[in-house]
Amino acid sequence: MSGNKKILVVDDEEDILDLLRYNLEKEGYQVKVAEDGIKGVEIAKTFVPDLILLDIMMPGQDGVETCRQMRELSELSGTFIIFLTARVEEYSEVAAFENGADDYLTKPIKPRALMSRINAIFRRSKKEIDTEEKINVGDLMIDKQGFIVRKNETEFNFPKKEFELLYFLAKHPGKVFSREDLLHNIWGSDVYVLTRTVDVHIRKVREKIGDGYISTIKGVGYKFELD
């Protein structure tokens, strides 16, 4: 499963960096580590990891800001970001997903459980890769293979989950999906996130492409408009 997959670990605790590096390399992953968010962003630019394990509580620049900066890098548009944190407050989880996180795990870290989660993410990602397929709706073009969203002549940089959410809805125009349906199809059954995470991602998609494509069905969920 690991193949040539690359993982970046960003945490200010040396013991955690050593623990995760050891377990990840034992699984066959290529691993780099950074002890703070600023260095994490710099390493990510050149290493271009498939997955980033990112601590929230770090001195200088916290994980939420680090995640936000990473999501602005086009080369990381397909990178998974998992937060590792001792904080369990709901607002911390919401802030994490608002800034582009794909998953959220609390400390203390259990290496076996973490490896299982990472392997599951990569399995699901491989399964989701399909043939070259573009969706054109009016002035909007969504290219699954190129990970591109373009409206008229403007091209948008979408974080992975926002892109997958838009693409999934656009593949099923006119069909209403509940928040639970979208969580299951986009995040998977092995990732535990709040249903309001869907609302956050829908809002961010609308901020980029406008409000006319995805409708809110009050009390039910969302659907992609046919025209």
Question: Is 113 within 8 Å of 120 (Cβ atoms)?
Answer: no
Q: Report the pLDDT value the prediction gives residue 159, as an integer from 0 to 100.
A: 86
Residues 122 and 144 in one domain: no
24-81, pLDDT tens digit by residue?
999 999 999 999 999 999 999 999 999 999 998 898 899 989 999 998 888 887 788 9
Helix H segments across the chain?
Answer: 14-26, 37-47, 63-71, 90-98, 111-128, 160-171, 179-182, 196-209
* Cross-sheet strand order for the sheet of 221-224: 177-178, 221-224, 214-217
- Tell me phi and psi for residue 59, to 5 degrees: -70, 150
Provide the number of structural domains found in the chain.
2
Residues 109 and 157 in one domain: no
Residues 183 and 205 in one domain: yes
3-state SS, residue 12: coil
Residue 94 lies in a domain: yes
Residues 23 and 94 in one domain: yes
Rank 78-92, 131-145, 151-165 by mean pLDDT and report only the highest. 151-165
pTM of the model: 0.64
* Cross-sheet strand order for the sheet of 134-137: 134-137, 140-143, 148-151, 154-156
3-state SS, residue 186: helix
Residues 94 and 194 in one domain: no
Lowest mean pLDDT across 86-100, 120-134, 177-191: 120-134
